[in-house]
Structure 1
Amino acid sequence: MEATMSSQPSDAPGPPEDDRVTSARLPSIFCARALLASLLVILCVLLGLVPTRAACGNENNSKRKWGSFEYVNPRPNAMLVSAFTTIAVRRGSLIQTPLGPASYYFEVTGSKSGKHHHKGELRVGDDQKTVLFRPRDPFVPGEKVYVKVLKGLTALEDGRSRVLDEYEWSFYISRMPIKEYWIKKMEQGYDLHDYDHDFDRQLVHHEDADGDDGVEEETTSRALADEANDDLTYIAPDPSYRTLPADFPKIAVTFPASESTGKDDLIFVGTLFMRTNKEPDKKYVGYGLILDETGDPVFYKPFGTNEKIVDWRVNRDGHITYVGVPWSYYIGLDRFYEPTKRYQAQHGYKINSHGIEAFANGSFVCVIYDEQPVDMTRYDTKHGKKDTKVVGSIVQEVDGSGNVLNEWRSWDAFPLPRLVAESTSNVSERYNRFDALHVNSIDFMPDHTGDILLSFRHRDELIRVDRSTMDVCWRLGGVHGDFAFDREDIDYDGRPFRHQHDARVHPPTAHHVRRTANRTIDSTASFHVTMFDNGNKKSRYHRVHRMLIPKYSRAVEYAVDETNRVAHKVWEYRHDPDYYGIATGSVQRRDNGNTVINWGGLGIYPTLPFLTELDGHRNEVLLQMAFKEDYGAYRVTRQPWWGRSKQPPTVVLNRDVPFPYQLHVSYNGVTNVVSWEVFRSTAADGSDEGKIIEVPKTRFETIMPLPVVMSECVWYRVRARAGPIDAGTTVPQPSIMSEKVFGGATGREEACS
């Protein structure tokens, strides 16, 4: 098979010789809306409104298109810029420090606010390459800002000092009132719980081209608990446990195969739910969970009523990170489950819950949903209003000192006419809101560049962003993608995937490459990408069998050849019968080659499995889990983890059994407990306390019958014995006694005390 596109005209009779088509070519034939998009793009290019897509991986000197700099932020002529923005320039080489006052290097003047360079702060980023000017006061909404970098910044190149030339440009501040910025709302005591409804709109609003609005009702899929064989399914955790909260989520666990799934990696899942019109007042309790492969808890963190726990996982910096809606920042838990990190977006924005990637050096990359009031009557005469909230996407890379090293803004990359024409979403009449892009995952290219891969749900598209210049390098999928796909994997309007989530990049190595049995894939793939393809549309048109296939979700993997701009589907998995997850979902390729799938669905009936683990060779299901309640999950991972605790163990005396009573003991989150020591005393002050038994720990909660004691007054305490059983650490577990529990005669505790 040739690696290039067929040159045969589209109107030639019969099928083309090549069975690959670009995702840009078919929409111009089959979709009038995409044809309009094509014309608008051409017009924008002619007017100079569309940045030229860059070739990634070039040497720095070929990237410097802003005078002496490869990166400036905000960009020249940028619109809708935050009033709290910093100004950054970067050449790509180290900057000679220390620097003098900001006014020696920058002139920054607002058309309304006047001069800022005498009142701002000059900083050098932790990369020692990015120079930032931080104004003391915000800019005035609607003003034009003029920036001049004076001659004087010195770069160190090839062992020499190079004084950089002057460069000047201007940009425009958004007209959004200062009080509407998130940073000001926080200062004014904004009720965070008002944000809960906004999250519902963000997560669910996915209007397809056919006008669907809001949550769809689906009855074709069935829940795991309904379809599973009773002999293969059980409910976890053990109903005899007494140390867990009463509202702890119940999980249906299925083992259809006996092969090991790799017990060292634990399961990280946060509960997610959506209110529906049928049950608007139903209450839920949010939980962040760590489970083993039997569904037994390892750690649990309960949150407030109706709190949604999103993106709960171990991040690259070793912390468990999560954002609980309606919070406006990410939290990082350390190995003692203490909240020692807080990840906050800069420039006055609130962080978005769709993803964060945090690094050991203190930096992180996050996404932001930037709502701007826009007159949409010019672009959408049917639904648009003069004050429609248009949601742009922003990606920030923030260093450990709080500096914004990189900022990518959709307002710069996609002019508004193009956004409207190419988006699969419409203006929501219910909320007067237009979410044109809906960025929902971040990853990094496996090559030396570390470039950023972004997934846009409402564009059915992935893009690569050059991490040094923040230029768009290419687009994969969508209306005007740069890659040809296999014809059999293109739907009726030219899109290879729809409303995807969790796009992850893999090097083409043995652990990650999947090859179909009936197809030979060439070895020129630059990388592989996996994703959860939600499949949000009425149907897929199968071009080979020429038939409509009902909506379904799938895990899918493509081998991508950047040189020849082709993408081959090398693997996919669909459940039988099909599952359809309206939103959310994730796919993880584990180091052992297994694949972990979260089917999303928001917990709206039917409840779909939050975990299906597939064998790395035969696509056999090894493990499946689903919540029994109406919970879903945003993203699910299996990851190695060890934990400790500064809190005492939990101990409960069970009197609901025939004498002698039982002790129920657990240690939330501690992963190296090997046994439990039980201590007994008959004196209230514990003066005669002594160890009576030691019981091995085999699961989360240990249940032990107590020895018979002939005393009306008796108390028990327990202590964990820890062993060096955690790989990769020597951190000890503090020896902490539990609280005392009274095990004497019923009703005699007060008298005994």
Structure 2
Amino acid sequence: MHYGSLLNVRSNNIGQPPDAATGPSPCQQVLDDGRRTFAPIEPDFSAEPLPHQERADREQRSSEAALAGADDPADVEDASDMTEAQWESWTDSANLRTEPSAADGFIYRHPKPRAILVSPKTSIALRAPIQLKRPSIRDKVRVRADEGGFVGGKVLLTRDGRTLLWTPLRLFKAGETVTVKVASGILGEDGTAMGGVMWQFRVSPNPLRLYDGPFTDPDDGAEEWRAEAKANYRRKGPDADAAEWHLYGPFMPSAFPSLSTSTEQPAGQPHQEQQQAEEPPLVDAHTASAASSAGCEIEGSSWPKDEEAFRRVYPTMLSETFLQPSPTGSKYGNDTPGNERPYLIITDKHGQLVYWRRHTSQAKQRVVRLTDEMGQRGNLIYRDRLNVTDREGKRRGATKWVEMNHDLQRVRTHKAGHGYQADQHDIAISADGKRRAFLIVDTQLTDVGRWLREKENKGGASGADDRLSEVWVYVPIVQVLDEDDNIVMEWRASDTWPIPELVLRHEGSVEALIERQKANPNGPMDVAHINSVSFTPDGNLLVSLRHLNVLEVDVNTGRINWMLGGSATDRLFNDFAIDEDSRFREQHHVRMLGSGHITLFDNRNPPPGDGSTPKYSRALELKIIKHNSSTTSDGDFPYSVKTVWEHRGPYGLAMGWVQRFANGNTGINWGGLANKETPFYQEVTADGSTVFEMKLTSANGAYSTYKGVWWSRPTRPPLLTMNEPLPAAADTDTPIPAALHFSWNGATNVKEWEVYGGLSSPPSLLLGRLNKRLFEHRWPLDQHTMQAVRQGDFSHPCGGGGAAKTGGGCSTGYYYFRVVPVLHDGRKGQASAVLGVKAKQAAAKKKKKKQKKKKKKKTRGNGY
């Protein structure tokens, strides 16, 4: 096993605005989290429905079939032919409550009463505090949309036995108001009867295509996955380009990681990765790689014809050119097309590479870790983009979380529901592995001017300005799915705060917002920046909103238990009395320990308008103190917080990661933006002593660094390549000797390598053994072997003297190599495929013969 670190590269957080040619969006909000109400403004559900494009209607009709087809016909309740009289009569007899009440017995509803900006693909959910009787949930739910009429649906009881989930048989239309009626009479297992309820919500005015998540089965991306896998392996290319790819990969030596550690190196394991990095690039390397057939002959001087041949890349961190200076002078990098895509990298505890994988796209990739948050078990999970087929038959990118097993094979993809795309910053998996929590960023239009005018009409402070227009806003959402992919909880920022309030807070003033809209009218505003989510020890959710605070959300009710202010500490966003020492700003990676303490990375960015440069960032541990009464000496806050541990380090404007281990040590990724002096990983003891640290030798970065127990047994064979000897370069007196290069990407149980050579395929002569200490090993070839390759006489002892002849498994003009890994238990692992190297003399004769034949044909063609 390897107790290693999992690294993921960093890219810019650049969003693309959706189509702005949609109708106006309602900005009225009712905001009740079950514990408080923030001066709500009632939405006008009697108003005319918002206009939407004809294209949205077409998209609506083409999507009907997607939600039809229930597995159990008994669970389908098609009430689409319900009459008005039946609707009214059903309502009268159901004894419905129109407001949430403890009397109805339900502790969770989705969407919330009077919710707005709801996905047209939403389901409807109710949860009781007790187990429900399955037969009693049937024929209890009726749904009506003001534009689409009565809607049929499929009802089911989720595996927890408490959650009723109703999925419509058609999609809701953009901007329409939906009324939900649930009749009384749903029974608990103890005989308790739930009361009837009725409520309304409004669908987002956005066109349907903005909610067009992967319109295929989760595994329908397999074909694209295979195509992407081939893209990771080199299939063709000029020889002049081959040398650089062979040794260094796309980044060249300056991007290699360096290692600094106070722990002792194992005996016989020097830091040879630096020695490899300093070797000059090969100019005319033989880069043939192992083919799938053990007897396949491959010419070492040409690219292999097998499509599955490995592309020879030595992976490192991000390219120096990945974060180029922005032409606008921004401190953020310019994520330009054409730069190399980011990599997923696993190293062992000595910093030696174990596994690498190039991401499918250059799109932002953030987190890679094990499915077990504690790092002791589980599969590898990371986020990537796959191309899928949408409802119009077009191929497009879809973001999913990909899970790989210990064979390094994709076993599952995880995606958000309700048509949303999962965000790249984080994913949470419950301790029992049954629930997953996704971060979502929903782009919506909000009319701040209209909201301010309505607030003024109701007697509130205004500052309304007719120059204000609609703005695009990133609205945070957290979604919890169970083991059957049912959406059992959804928390939305638009149900908690007025989105216009967040917009004004983010910009600071109406005037600042007006200027911002002039400069960038279609650019979405990231008013909260959701960047981490995790399950707490008691099963609730801990959510980080970087520009605002940290939340604990009750998974059963969807309500906020508490808000811990970070950048925002006023009562709208904070329930804590916070001293200056415990104040944090622009945080990342918030987690709750078994003790109930919270760890986070405190970037400590200054407030807007403050031109000062922070002196440090820090890893921070906080203790939460709950008071017995809401009236306390701490300014009437129900909670207070106290710093119990911190470790200061270099200031990082963005990114950052903190991980607490069982021995009390803490792993820290110091974030930053492409600063080679900042460690991308450091492990410290409780007293702050450094036990392990890694940096990059050039200006690159990693968003997250995660440490855990990992082992793998790849199904692909080891890679074997060869370079022929090269003369010394002009600036050095050292020639480059001929050598074999071999590695097994991802393997963690290799003890040593056996190198074989010979005139037949597969070769059987053992040339020697080599203890495995590096990711890639180099085996210098002796004079006898290289003379055989150069002269073509193959007078090597294994050939028995004389020239090789065709027959008996031998092939004239070839010499063969193969490597075999020996595992720690003494068994032999999967061998590389055979590398056949063609003698230069034989190759030259063959070329000359071919040219002569071509010349003869040409002569005949001219009539001579």
Q: Same fold (TM over 0.5)?
A: yes
Task: Read off the aligned partner of 1:323 and give its amino acid letter.
Answer: R
TM-superposed deviation, 1:138: 1.0
Distance 2:692 2:703 in 1: 19
- Going from structure 1 to structure 2, the CA distance change for 1:692 and 1:286 (only over 3 Å counts) comes to same
| Aligned equivalent of 1:107 | 142
Task: Read off the aligned partner of 1:176 and give its amino acid letter.
Answer: N
SS for the counterpart of 2:659 is: strand
TM-superposed deviation, 1:244: 6.4
| Aligned equivalent of 1:320 | 380
- Going from structure 1 to structure 2, the CA distance change for 1:179 and 1:660 (only over 3 Å counts) comes to closer
Kindly indicate whether the alpha-carbon contact (under 8 Å) linking 1:113 and 1:140 is maintained by their aligned counterparts in 2.
yes
SS for the counterpart of 1:419 is: helix
Q: Does 1:415 align with 2:498?
A: yes
Q: Which of 718, 722, 726 is the aligned partner of 1:653?
A: 722
Does 647-656 or 624-633 show the bigger shift?
624-633
Kindly indicate whether the alpha-carbon contact (under 8 Å) linking 1:385 and 1:432 is maintained by their aligned counterparts in 2.
no
| Aligned equivalent of 1:73 | 110
Q: Does 1:179 align with 2:209?
A: yes
| Aligned equivalent of 2:819 | 718
| Aligned equivalent of 2:292 | none
Distance 2:244 2:659 in 1: 33
| Aligned equivalent of 2:260 | 255
| Aligned equivalent of 1:390 | 473
The superposition leaves residues 442-491 of structure 1 with CA deviations (integer Å, 9 ceiling, x where unpaired) of 12222xx31111111111x11111111010111112323222223444xx
Distance 1:131 1:269 in 2: 49
Distance 2:434 2:251 in 1: 36
Q: Does 1:613 align with 2:678?
A: no
Q: Which of 524, 537, 543 is the aligned partner of 1:433?
A: 524
Q: Does 1:580 align with 2:647?
A: no
* Matching of residues 453-468 of structure 1 within 5 Å: 453-459=542-548, 461-468=549-556
Distance 1:178 1:70 in 2: 30
* Matching of residues 723-742 of structure 1 within 5 Å: 723-724=824-825, 735-742=829-836
Kindly indicate whether the alpha-carbon contact (under 8 Å) linking 1:123 and 1:133 is maintained by their aligned counterparts in 2.
yes
Distance 2:542 2:316 in 1: 23
- Going from structure 1 to structure 2, the CA distance change for 1:43 and 1:146 (only over 3 Å counts) comes to closer
TM-score normalised by L of structure 2: 0.62
Q: Percent identity?
A: 28
Structure 2 segments unaligned to the other structure (5+ residues): 1-31, 44-99, 218-242, 270-314, 328-332, 386-396, 453-462, 629-638, 727-734, 786-794, 797-812, 848-864
SS for the counterpart of 1:175 is: coil
SS for the counterpart of 1:411 is: helix
Distance 1:691 1:482 in 2: 71
Kindly indicate whether the alpha-carbon contact (under 8 Å) linking 1:269 and 1:636 is maintained by their aligned counterparts in 2.
no
Q: Which of 436, 450, 474 is the aligned partner of 2:539?
A: 450
TM-score normalised by L of structure 1: 0.71
The superposition leaves residues 304-358 of structure 1 with CA deviations (integer Å, 9 ceiling, x where unpaired) of 5744431011122822222236752211122122222111111111111111113
| Aligned equivalent of 1:569 | 643
TM-superposed deviation, 1:696: 2.0
Task: Read off the aligned partner of 1:622 and give its amino acid letter.
Answer: V
- Going from structure 1 to structure 2, the CA distance change for 1:402 and 1:92 (only over 3 Å counts) comes to same
Q: Which of 128, 141, 150 is the aligned partner of 2:174?
A: 141
- Going from structure 1 to structure 2, the CA distance change for 1:254 and 1:678 (only over 3 Å counts) comes to closer
Task: Read off the aligned partner of 1:572 and give its amino acid letter.
Answer: E
Distance 2:101 2:324 in 1: 50
TM-superposed deviation, 1:574: 1.9
| Aligned equivalent of 2:441 | 369
Distance 1:538 1:356 in 2: 28
Q: Does 1:641 align with 2:704?
A: no
* Matching of residues 503-514 of structure 1 within 5 Å: 503-508=590-595
Q: Does 1:470 align with 2:534?
A: no
Kindly indicate whether the alpha-carbon contact (under 8 Å) linking 2:581 and 2:643 is maintained by their aligned counterparts in 1.
no
- Going from structure 1 to structure 2, the CA distance change for 1:634 and 1:270 (only over 3 Å counts) comes to farther
| Aligned equivalent of 1:560 | 624
TM-superposed deviation, 1:608: 3.1
SS for the counterpart of 1:435 is: coil
| Aligned equivalent of 1:357 | 428
Kindly indicate whether the alpha-carbon contact (under 8 Å) linking 1:269 and 1:637 is maintained by their aligned counterparts in 2.
no
Task: Read off the aligned partner of 1:322 and give its amino acid letter.
Answer: Y
Q: Which of 464, 488, 495 is the aligned partner of 1:405?
A: 488
Distance 2:600 2:507 in 1: 18
TM-superposed deviation, 1:599: 1.7
| Aligned equivalent of 1:31 | none
- Going from structure 1 to structure 2, the CA distance change for 1:569 and 1:422 (only over 3 Å counts) comes to farther
Distance 1:327 1:169 in 2: 34
- Going from structure 1 to structure 2, the CA distance change for 1:592 and 1:752 (only over 3 Å counts) comes to farther
| Aligned equivalent of 1:227 | none
- Going from structure 1 to structure 2, the CA distance change for 1:110 and 1:678 (only over 3 Å counts) comes to same
Distance 2:585 2:609 in 1: 10
The superposition leaves residues 28-58 of structure 1 with CA deviations (integer Å, 9 ceiling, x where unpaired) of xxxxxxxxxxxx99996455889xxxxxxxx
Distance 1:129 1:150 in 2: 17
| Aligned equivalent of 1:284 | 340
- Going from structure 1 to structure 2, the CA distance change for 1:539 and 1:113 (only over 3 Å counts) comes to closer
Structure 1 segments unaligned to the other structure (5+ residues): 1-39, 51-62, 188-238, 490-495, 509-526, 542-546, 726-732
The superposition leaves residues 521-558 of structure 1 with CA deviations (integer Å, 9 ceiling, x where unpaired) of xxxxxx211111111216999xxxxx987453222111
Q: Does 1:484 align with 2:577?
A: yes
Task: Read off the aligned partner of 2:208 and give its amino acid letter.
Answer: I
SS for the counterpart of 1:458 is: coil
- Going from structure 1 to structure 2, the CA distance change for 1:633 and 1:434 (only over 3 Å counts) comes to same
Instruction: Work out which of the two has the higher radius of gyration on C-alpha atoms and give 1 or 2.
Output: 2
Distance 2:204 2:210 in 1: 11
Q: Does 1:300 align with 2:361?
A: no
The superposition leaves residues 247-298 of structure 1 with CA deviations (integer Å, 9 ceiling, x where unpaired) of 378344342633799x9xxxx9985954541475472331100012332210
Kindly indicate whether the alpha-carbon contact (under 8 Å) linking 1:584 and 1:634 is maintained by their aligned counterparts in 2.
yes
Kindly indicate whether the alpha-carbon contact (under 8 Å) linking 2:108 and 2:126 is maintained by their aligned counterparts in 1.
yes
- Going from structure 1 to structure 2, the CA distance change for 1:275 and 1:153 (only over 3 Å counts) comes to farther
Kindly indicate whether the alpha-carbon contact (under 8 Å) linking 1:540 and 1:550 is maintained by their aligned counterparts in 2.
no
TM-superposed deviation, 1:594: 1.6
TM-superposed deviation, 1:242: 5.7
Kindly indicate whether the alpha-carbon contact (under 8 Å) linking 1:677 and 1:721 is maintained by their aligned counterparts in 2.
yes
